Amino acid sequence: MVDRKADAKNRTSLDILVAGAGYVGLAAAVSLKQARPSLAVAVVDAAPAGVWQKDGRASAIAAAACRMLDQLCVWAEIAPEAQAITEMIVTDSRTSDPVRPVFLTFDGEVAPGEAFAHMVANRDLNGALRRRAEKLGIDIIEGVAVSAFDVNGAGITVHLADGATLKARLLVAADGVNSKLRDMAGIKTVKWEYGQSGIVCTVAHERPHNGRAEEHFLPAGPFATLPLKPDTDGTNRSSIVWVERSEDAEKLVDSDDLVFEHELEQRFGLKLGEIHVADRPRAWPLGLTLARAFVAPRIALAGDAAHGIHPIAGQGLNLGFKDVAALAEVVVEADRLGQDIGALDVLERYQQWRRFDTLQMGITTDVLNRLFSNDIGPLRAVRDIGLGLVERMPRLKDFFIRQASGLSGDTPKLLKGEAI
């Protein structure tokens, strides 16, 4: 049996080193290696081996990202456990309101038989990408962080925390919103906190959800109910993303189970019958982080290392997959033309492709959060009128569906379901 960790550390010369073995990092490595098998690609991750298997969360994967995963030969493995979102409804209310009027309803298809998004368990997504990486011969070094790097003209020398040294032509930083590599590269960020935290948990419920997702805009922040595939014993389940003021969120996750479930029921309602929390709720602080540059000599940022946005539109992970598709297309094209894949002029093409779209999404989610996370009467009236107008304009609704599905704008080939 091959010890890939030892093999990777013994291989001192690579074409591409990806830092971060989350979905974005793994997808970047697989995209590049699949398109150019001659490239030597490895992944290094600071998290201990097996930590990803303990992640009980689920993510909304937009249609465009599903097309990319299909191109990467992993969607067929994921699809049987994925739950299609067949309908999306939006309400604007208070927890005390006896009735929550539906202001906006979206059909769940971007094309006949193609849902605009699927809910996928994080473990399933990560596991499928890891198995594909292994099949392609991509080495994954786990439990070791990048401690430093030196850029030296034609390459970059990466020093690992355990003393090993790797050389590459390109370093892809996919190490999360608090990226150490971004800081090491001297890339500044625009950053602020919202004073909100996102509570995430899985809820079991009596009646089936029929693929419907709901987003309730409440004064403290959005409360989203996202459909999951039934458990192995047939239990109906949904994923909850519940935004509260940070101090309230901490009190809620630390409270007695009965208190938490009571507060949850006030927001979830009884439309799906009796509910109970199926796993331990966790809370994460929310903020906006935008890198001032996506590239530096021999380095490209991708995913949360380049941008961390509010979950109000559910686009964080999908923005990361769009980074991957664009970066892979730029790098593969440069390699085919015999260009230096880590040269700054090559990486600038990736930056030009992705920065404006990311800035636009960051501003949009920031404005939406500020507009909807309050209980100001005149603002509520304006936003409810706006939602009602969108509901009555099919073309505008179609535009929003295309946006949510990741199929709008200058879309990279992988997100169209095309090979690069």
pLDDT at 6: 47
Q: State the Cα–Cα distance between residues 15 and 167, nearest whole angstrom.
A: 8
Q: Do the beta carbons of residue 325 and residue 206 sit within 8 Å?
A: no
From 341, 351, 344, 323, select the one nearest 411 (Cα to Cα).
Answer: 323
pLDDT at 396: 66
Residue range 226-261, pLDDT digits in tens:
999 999 999 999 999 999 999 999 999 999 999 999
Residue where the block lists tokens 């067949």: 86
Is residue 5 scored above 70 in pLDDT? no
Q: State the Cα–Cα distance between residues 329 and 322, nearest whole angstrom.
A: 11
Q: State the Cα–Cα distance between residues 171 and 380, nearest whole angstrom.
A: 46
pTM over 0.85: yes
pLDDT at 92: 81
pLDDT at 11: 56
Residue range 118-128, pLDDT digits in tens:
999 999 999 99
Residue range 88-146, pLDDT digits in tens:
988 886 665 555 566 678 887 888 889 999 999 999 999 999 999 999 999 999 999 99
Residue range 361-381, pLDDT digits in tens:
999 899 888 888 877 777 777
Write down all domains in the chain, each with its CATH number in brackets: 14-83+119-191+288-374 (3.50.50.60)
pLDDT at 321: 97
Residue-averaged pLDDT of the chain: 91
pLDDT at 4: 45
Residue range 286-333, pLDDT digits in tens:
999 999 999 999 999 999 999 999 998 788 899 999 999 999 999 999
- Write the CB contacts of 370 (distance below 8 Å, at least 6 apart in sequence): none
Residue range 72-83, pLDDT digits in tens:
999 999 999 999
